[in-house]
Structures are given as structure tokens and as C-alpha cells.
Amino acid sequence: MSSWRDNIRKVEPYTPGEQPKEDGVIKLNTNENPYPPSPKALEAAAEIRNLRKYPDPAATKLTNAIASYHGVPKEQVFVGVGSDDVLAVAFMTFFNSEKPILFPDITYSFYPVWAELFGIPYEKKPLNSQFQIEPKDYFGENGGVVFPNPNAPTGIYMPLEEVEEILEHNRDVAVIVDEAYIDFGGVSAKTLTEKYDNLLVVQTYSKSRSMAGLRIGYAIGNQELIQAMNDVKYSYNSYTMNEPSILMGAAVLEDEAYFQETRKKIIDTREWFKEEMRKLGFTFPDSKANFIFASHERITAKELFQAAKEQKIYVRYFDQPRINNYLRITIGTREEMETLLRFFKEYIG
């Protein structure tokens, strides 16, 4: 007799960053923002009244706020439960060709997971020796393109003219630019959505907006792209966005001064930290994200990762080809980074 186990979908799952439960930890492993969200988020939370009823399935208040903030029509905005949800819906919606989709070999590790889960053929295009995306690698026939900008875990930003090169050579497929870290350096590709009706730009509240716990992500693109994504969303879960996320997510967009202040703190700390790390013998790509991707000249990344963890300092280590001697280190507060530097100085000697 056939076992029910024969019908289980078997996939290699995404491995999220460790979430330590102990106290006194310096957590620099999941690229969270070290600063609290805008006070306007808590003000909005105090006004929440409608938890008994289902939330607005269109998340109208949040959608309108995002559209207004970015200067686009509301019909060109899709919201989801974090950018992971937005990207998963986009994969289901646009990547249905028999041709393989293309993405980098060193990139956000959820891409191959979704491709496997949804039965999407794919090809990984290797980054060059400097960990940069080569636009020409994406000029061939394919079923779609997706890449982060800045890339993760490298932190390297691709200039907008190179993004447009990829778009120019892929007019007949969807191109997704995942901009989770765009607020920490570089120019968003959202302006290109006016020129390319096949471009989808995805952003998140989890990094620069300090709201990872509320799970808010969104996409900006041509109205036809957004409508197609909504059709898919409403086919499996109409009520994806909860009421607190809708109201608090809309409220923080009214506090641009606070956003720019905390953003600047992270960028300034990142640039100072880079200089201090170079003095200790570390090398890394020129990150434009809220992390750096560092390798030491003498001591292996795995050894440093384990030693730091013993001191309750968590960074991210990827035991994967090409990057198994690098640490991805989130930029925390100045005090947190000073503590990490003291550890490195003592350990390296």
C-alpha cells in the first residue's frame, strides 16, 4: 500500500538567522535595525480598535500611504507580510515559463527555495571575482530575472545604469529588483517602473524602518503587474495584512525626520566601522547596506564566528562555497560595534 508520506512535498527549507533566547546578547546576525521605530508607530498602536473584525483585505490605508510617500498611484502598490511574502507572490505570479529564471549564485538564499517549492526552473549566475553581478550574464533567453540591490550577503550596490542594462535585454519577462537595503546606499530603481512595464521593485519595513516584527513589505510596479499579484493573493489568502501593521505602517511614513536621523546613524556607524575593521586586517566589499561582509587575513571566519558567539556576540556565518570564509556583520549601535571591535582586537592579538 502507498504511504501518505509518499505524497509529502519535499523541499530544502530556508535557514533563517539564529534568534538567541538568552539575555545580554549583542545580536548582529539578522540585519535588524538597532533603533526603535518612529514614535508615531506607538501612537498609532494606541489607536487600534478593530482587532475583533477582519482587517481591510486591500490594506487601503497602508497602500495609500506608501503610494503617496513614493509619488505613485495606489494601483501601482502591492503590500504583503514582509518582503518575503511579496517576493513569494511575485514568484508564483510571474515565473511560470518553462525557461529558467536567473539570479546570482551568491544572493538571498530564499530565491532557490521558492523556485524549488513552486517548481520553477532556475539558473544561478556566478558573481565575478569581486562579488559583483555581471549584467551581461542576464542577457540570454530566460523565464525571468530576480536580484537584490544592494546584494545580500555582499552588500554591493549595482549602479542604476547597470540595472537598466538588464532591463533593456529582458523586455519580455518580469524583472524583480529586491531593494531590502536600498535606504542605506544607492538610488532606487522605482523611477524605472515608468519606463519598463515589466519591472517590479520590492522594498521592506524590516530594515530601515525598524519594524521587522510587524512584517511589512511592498512592491511598486506597473498597474497590470500589481493587479496580477493581487489576483494571486486573493486566490489563497485575502487577509494577509493585520490591522496593527496597516495602521502603524502608515503612521511611520509621516515621520521623515526620524527616518533620516536613524538612517544616517547607521550609515555613519558603518563607515566608521569599516575603517576600524581594516586596521585589524579585515577585508570586505564596499557595502551600501546595513551590514558588512568581512574576511580576516589570518583567522578563519568560522573560528571568529564561534569565538564571538561564546562571548554572546552573534554574527552570521554561511558555510557555503565561495563565502565560507566571510562573516556578515549587521551594523548595530556605535556602542555595540565598539564592543565587537574590542573582542576582535583581543582575540586577533
Distances (CA, A) of 79 to 62, 164, 249, 304: 8, 24, 11, 39
For CA atoms 125, 102, 109, 185, the dihedral sign is positive
State the amino acid at position 246 in one-letter form.
Answer: I
The pLDDT tens digits for 264-315 are 999 999 999 999 999 999 999 999 999 999 999 999 999 999 999 999 999 9
* Structure letter (DSSP) for residue 267: H
Residue with cell 538571498: 108
Question: What is the DSSP code string of 93-156?
Answer: HH--SSSPEEEESSS-THHHHHHHHTT--EEEEPP-TTS---GGGG-S--SEEEEESS-TTT-P
Q: Write out the three cell numbers for 332.
A: 548595530
| Residue 187 phi, psi (nearest 5) | -115, 135
What is the pairing mode between strands 122-125 and 101-104?
Answer: parallel
- pTM of structure: 0.96
Distance CA 23, CA 26 (A): 9
CB-based contact 182:152 (threshold 8 Å): no
Neighbouring residues of 140: CB distance < 8 A, sequence distance ≥ 6: none
Q: How big is the chain by its Cα radius of gyration, in Å?
A: 21
Torsion of CA 254, 255, 256, 261, to 10 degrees: -170
The pLDDT tens digits for 186-215 are 999 999 999 999 999 999 999 999 999 999
Distance CA 234, CA 327 (A): 40
Q: If we measure between CA atoms, which residue out of 161, 156, 177, 14 comes closest to residue 103?
A: 177
Residue 53 CB-density burial (10 A; 0-12 exposed, 13-18 middle, 19+ buried): exposed
Torsion of CA 223, 229, 233, 236, to 10 degrees: 140
Half-sphere exposure of 222 (CA within 13 A, CB side): 14
Ordered alpha helix ranges (H), 157-212: 160-168
CB-based contact 149:163 (threshold 8 Å): yes
pLDDT by residue for the chain (349 residues), tens only, comes to 678 888 888 888 888 888 888 889 999 999 999 999 999 999 999 989 889 999 999 999 999 999 999 999 999 999 999 999 999 999 999 999 999 999 999 999 999 999 999 999 999 999 999 999 999 999 999 999 999 999 999 999 999 999 999 999 999 999 999 999 999 999 999 999 999 999 999 999 999 999 999 999 999 999 999 999 999 999 988 888 999 999 999 999 999 999 999 999 999 999 999 999 999 999 999 999 999 999 999 999 999 999 999 999 999 999 999 999 999 999 999 999 999 999 999 999 8
